[in-house]
């Protein structure tokens, strides 16, 4: 049995060239087909996904992270910061649309991607990272719970997938601040 070393990279990006965009669209459709979330149930095709990613890159409150295996985009995640007029929740951010294409799994890219999003959120001053996931996404649930995310609730009618109502789980994780003191969850603290 031979072992091959792969180059793993997760980077925050502000632009995608056409080759990377095509690879990312392919990876996204593969994840959707496999049931990996992203909100879509059916594959969207390159044109629709290219519009989506170009749109994401235009929104100042969203940061796009690209997972690369041997230099090729095979997954992504988005960090969404709260709007400026939400001062009360400015300490928290949202991790969303995190996936790695089925053909690129098993190398630790999903774990690395979540860590990179956490590091960036903490560097921006966020103390909490929130996320939600369909109950059917067992691999994602195991990943997030294994990384220390706390499930705080379940919505019984979270999504509709192929005519079936599916529950969704909500998670949060306290982030270590890059400076200052840790967040205290005690009542009134």
Residue 187 lies in a domain: no
CATH code of residue 61: 3.40.630.30
DSSP string covering 96-143: EEEEE-GGG-SSSHHHHHHHHHHHHHHHTT--EEEEEEETT-HHHHHH
**Residue 2 falls inside a structural domain:** no
Is there a domain that residue 183 lies in? Answer: no
Q: Examine residue 137 and state whether it is found in any structural domain, yes or no.
A: yes
Contact partners, residue 177, CB within 8 Å, separation at least 6: 122, 125, 127, 183
pLDDT of res. 2: 44
Instruction: Judge whether 180 lies within some domain.
Output: no
Query: Is the model's pTM score more than 0.95?
Result: no
| pLDDT in the model for residue 158 | 96
Six token digits for residue 154: 């379940």
Residues of the chain with pLDDT under 50: 1-2
Give the pLDDT confidence score for residue 68 in this predicted structure: 98
Does the residue 140 lie in any domain?
A: yes
Domain range for 27: 8-174
With beta carbons less than 8 A apart as the criterion, state whether 8 and 112 touch.
yes
What pLDDT is recorded for position 164?
Answer: 94
188 found inside a domain: no
Q: Residue 1 has what pLDDT?
A: 46
CB count in 10 Å sphere of residue 94? 20
Q: What is the pLDDT of residue 162?
A: 87
Asked whether residue 64 is assigned to any structural domain, the reply reads yes
As for how many domains the chain has, the answer is 1
pLDDT of residue 67: 98
Report how far apart, in Å, the C-alpha atoms of 148 and of each of 39, 136, 184, 189 are: 23, 19, 17, 22
């Amino acid at each position: 049995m031979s072992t091959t070393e792969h180059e793993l990279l997760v980077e925050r990006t502000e632009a995608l060239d056409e080759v990377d965009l095509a690879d990312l669209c392919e990876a996204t459709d593969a994840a959707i087909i496999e049931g990996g979330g992203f909100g879509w149930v059916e594959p969207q095709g390159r044109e629709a996904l290219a519009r989506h990613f170009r749109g994401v890159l235009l929104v100042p409150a969203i940061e796009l992270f690209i997972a690369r295996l041997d230099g090729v985009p095979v997954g992504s995640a988005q960090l969404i910061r709260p709007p400026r007029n939400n001062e009360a929740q400015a300490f928290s951010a949202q991790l969303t649309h995190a996936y790695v294409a089925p053909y690129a799994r098993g190398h630790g890219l999903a774990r690395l991607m979540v860590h990179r999003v956490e590091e960036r959120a903490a560097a921006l001053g966020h103390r909490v990272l929130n996320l939600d996931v369909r109950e059917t996404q067992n691999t994602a649930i195991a990943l997030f719970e294994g990384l220390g995310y706390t499930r705080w609730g379940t919505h019984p009618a979270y999504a509709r997938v192929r005519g079936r109502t599916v529950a969704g789980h909500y998670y949060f994780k306290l982030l270590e601040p890059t400076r200052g003191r840790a967040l205290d969850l005690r009542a009134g603290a």
